[in-house]
Amino acid sequence: MSIGSDVPETHHPKTLCPYHPIYILMADNTHRSIPIKQTTPLSRVRKMMAQSMDESVRRAALSQVTREMDLSAVQAAREAAGEQRHSLNTYIMAAVARALPNHPLLNAELVENRVVAFAAVNLGMAVAAADGLVVTVIRDADQKSLDELAAAANDLATRARAGKLKLPDIEGGTFTVSNLGMFGIDGGFPLPRPPEGAILLVGRVRSQPALVDGQLVERPLAWFSLTFDHRFIDGAAAAAFLQEVQERLAHLR
């Protein structure tokens, strides 16, 4: 059938909105004409992630603040540690976990018009696994040393890539960190995992000129993008949290 000839001039296909019945018909016909290479059912973990992301978009009023972070102190500490150094992500997770108790709204969820702030910091850590990105959970992360955080993160990442995660490994998170810097990403708009109220995306580290004490010097900088549920977290609270994270990264505390 000729779609264009059967549509009134005021509803020409070029001007149809994506939800117009004829647009849907055209999209459906196009889909049927494309050869299918493979159909793969979602794994149990991917199903849970898909449902979680759908809920995040439907229920939350999402907003975002971003900040460029100076990672000079972290870089210096890693260089000084030599072969025994921890990953950049370990330092970032430590700074985030230790800052969260001072910003309870960022470590909370909204339940029937009540903000429920958690006493524990169960830090979600995104891991690139065989079937996609999966978020694992490090419990009581704010109470762990760098060595303990690194060990927990390595264990979860290893089991995630081997497909050996259990349900407790991916449940009960209160805040998530996703570091995509290794893929050359500067920033983005990640979605919090319900019922979590916020998620932090870490971009790649770049050597950039910065003005320090009147002198132009090179510093390792990275963008941190914090997406949060604006229903109970405002921009000032989100910005204050990022400010403390920067202070902790600058002084390694």
Residue 241's H or E segment, with its range, is: helix 235-251
31 among known catalytic residues: no
- How many whole angstroms separate alpha carbon 225 and alpha carbon 185? 11
Task: Provide the sign of the torsion angle of the four alpha carbons 32, 33, 36, 42, taken in this order.
Answer: negative
Catalytic residue, chosen from 11, 20, 230, 251, is 230
Where helices occur in 13-166 by DSSP H, the ranges are: 21-33, 44-59, 72-81, 88-99, 146-161
| 155 is known as an active-site residue | no
- Catalytic entry in 20, 213, 234, 251: 234
Look-up: residue for tokens 């029937």? 112
Cα torsion at 150, 196, 128, 138 (round to 10°)?
20
Buried b (16+ CB within 10 A) or exposed e, 187-221: beebbbbbbbbbbbbbbbbeeeeeeeeeeeeebbb
Cα–chain center distance at 207:
23
Catalytic residue set: 230, 234
